[in-house]
Chain A
Amino acid sequence: MTDWLTAEQDAALIGVGVPAMTLSFADRVMAALPADLPSLPIAKPARERRGLWARASIALMVTAGAGLVSMAAASTLFGVPIRNMPVVGPFVERVAPAPKPPPLAVKSHPKPARMASPSASRPAPIALPVVTETVSQQPSIINRRELRREVVAQRIADQIEQRQARRRELGLPPARLKLTPRVRERLKSMPREERRVLMQRVREVRAERRAAWAEMTPEERQALREKRAQRRQKSQDTPLP
């Protein structure tokens, strides 16, 4: 009985009962528990689960590393390795010297000629082998040079051909080749120095002719053109010697 309710009200409220729970309620709760299984044993780290090949490779690497480390330690940490081991050999030899073996037959080589030293105080210069024979040009170098020459000649011929083609397209008469193939062959067969002198002379002559052409009157130029044409005609008819 409470002080804020009458007896009837209190009885009515108390009479409001609660129905009984389901009998299997506890079982239902236990079945609904989250599956918190006991903790699994600690898994082995991946390093331990490696295969045999991995273990073997690791062992090999460790061995190699240990070897390298020991070598480095032997050469650095422990100082210079012991070279003069105390042995009894020298003592035995001092007491009873062993007979010297006969000298071995050494193949004798001619010693290279030495340059005379300018003074006795100076150290002797290093003797260099003296080349007694003239070294001829090696075939490979000659071949390369010829090949380069061929390439340059071909390039020049291509340029000449292109120039002629361009003139034909423009409707111009074909330009006279400054060096005909026959002349070019002649130049190629000449010695180098002789060819250089010749070409220099050709350039000088051309320069003189250009200067003279500039000073000519139109009549003189026309007369010269005709004369040149006749000469060209003659040169085509007459082969070079």
Chain B
Amino acid sequence: MTVPQLDSVVSDNALMEQAGLRDAAAFRLIVERHQQRPYRIAWRMLGDQTEAEDVAQDALLRLWSNAPSWQAGGSGVAAWLTRVATNLCLDRLRRRRFTSDEDVPERADEALLADAQIMVAERQATAAAAIATLPDRQRAAIILTYYEEQSNQVAADVLNLNIKAFESLLQRARTALRSMLANLKEDAHD
């Protein structure tokens, strides 16, 4: 299990080296390999597919720009894209707060509204609304640790926090989310 992961890191570094020499084909492999992660983070942070794709594209273009100075042996392309995409989302949310008084848009429920799945869809919509209600950095902490399964240390690095501050932030986020999902539990019992 370890060897393929190591091969993947080395392969990323080799591709980045080629991309640094302005090899578009090598960079396309990087895009196809890592485009999902920034998009997922952006979608969960922003709740909008178009904006999420814009963030993912922006992160990948920055990766292309930084390819000539890419240093192998770092945290890897995925971690780099995670950090950049998260900060791009936080920037967008900050700008959105200054430019608009509207709340974060409700996410569209893309699940099929079959009668059998109505309850599940409602739960997922409630969970999505709960995540969207969280403050930006708490939401980022939840997304990085819960959905992207990053360690606290990596998530702290992404958010430019020390580990203690991040753990405090994560604790507050979990408490808020749990309290918002408490009704869901009661509904489920009902």
**Minimum CB–CB distance for B46 against chain A, Å:** 11
Instruction: Choose among B32, B56, B188 the residue that contacts A8 (Cβ–Cβ < 8 A).
Output: B188
> What is the size, in residues, of chain A's interface with B at 8 Å between Cβ atoms?
27
Q: Which of A22-30, A93-101, A218-226 contacts B (4 or more CB under 8 A)?
A: A22-30
Q: Is B69 part of the contact surface with A, judged by Cβ < 8 Å?
A: no
User: Which secondary structure dominates where chain A touches chain B?
Assistant: loop
B57 close to A32 (CB less than 8 A): yes
A19 close to B49 (CB less than 8 A): yes
Instruction: Encode contact with A along B34-68: 1 for CB under 8 Å, 0 otherwise.
Output: 01100110011000010001001100110011000
A26 close to B61 (CB less than 8 A): no
Chain A, 1-27, CB within 8 A of any chain B CB: 2, 4-6, 8-9, 11-13, 15-19, 21-22, 25-26
Residues of A within 8 A of B57 (CB): 25, 28-29, 32
Q: Is B131 part of the contact surface with A, judged by Cβ < 8 Å?
A: yes
Q: Name which residue of chain B comes closest to A22, CB basis.
A: B53
CA of A8 to CA of B31, assembled, Å: 35
B123 close to A11 (CB less than 8 A): yes
CA of A142 to CA of B128, assembled, Å: 125
CA of A37 to CA of B31, assembled, Å: 19
Q: Name which residue of chain B comes closest to A5, CB basis.
A: B178
Instruction: Choose among B24, B35, B127, B185 the residue that contacts A16 (Cβ–Cβ < 8 A).
Output: B127
**Minimum CB–CB distance for B38 against chain A, Å:** 10
> What is the size, in residues, of chain B's interface with A at 8 Å between Cβ atoms?
37
CA of A174 to CA of B22, assembled, Å: 110
Q: Name which residue of chain A comes closest to B22, CB basis.
A: A36
Q: Is B184 part of the contact surface with A, judged by Cβ < 8 Å?
A: yes
Instruction: Encode contact with A along B111-134: 1 for CB under 8 Å, 0 otherwise.
Output: 100000000100110111001000
Known contacts A4-B174, A26-B35; is A33 also within 8 Å of B61 by CB? yes
CA of A28 to CA of B56, assembled, Å: 11
**Minimum CB–CB distance for B37 against chain A, Å:** 11
**Minimum CB–CB distance for A10 against chain B, Å:** 9
CA of A8 to CA of B57, assembled, Å: 35
A18 close to B31 (CB less than 8 A): no
A8 close to B123 (CB less than 8 A): yes
A19 close to B110 (CB less than 8 A): yes
Q: Is B146 part of the contact surface with A, judged by Cβ < 8 Å?
A: yes
**Minimum CB–CB distance for A29 against chain B, Å:** 5
Q: Is A38 part of the contact surface with B, judged by Cβ < 8 Å?
A: yes
CA of A37 to CA of B126, assembled, Å: 49
Of the A-B pairs whose beta carbons lie under 8 Å apart in the complex, a sample of 21, sorted by A's number, is A2-B146, A4-B178, A9-B127, A9-B181, A11-B123, A13-B127, A15-B120, A15-B127, A16-B107, A17-B110, A18-B39, A19-B49, A21-B36, A26-B28, A29-B60, A30-B24, A33-B61, A33-B64, A34-B61, A34-B65, A36-B22
The 4 closest A-B pairs by CB, nearest first: A12-B127, A15-B124, A12-B123, A9-B181
Question: Which B positions have Cβ atoms within 8 angstroms of A?
Answer: 22, 24, 27-28, 31-32, 35-36, 39-40, 43-44, 49, 53, 56-57, 60-61, 64-65, 107, 110-111, 120, 123-124, 126-128, 131, 146, 174, 178, 181, 184-185, 188
Question: Which A positions have Cβ atoms within 8 angstroms of B?
Answer: 2, 4-6, 8-9, 11-13, 15-19, 21-22, 25-26, 28-30, 32-34, 36-38
Q: Given A6-B185, A15-B124, A16-B128, 16 other A-B contacts at CB below 8 A? A: A4-B178, A8-B185, A9-B178, A15-B111, A15-B127, A16-B44, A18-B39, A19-B49, A21-B39, A25-B57, A29-B35, A29-B61, A30-B31, A32-B61, A34-B64, A36-B22
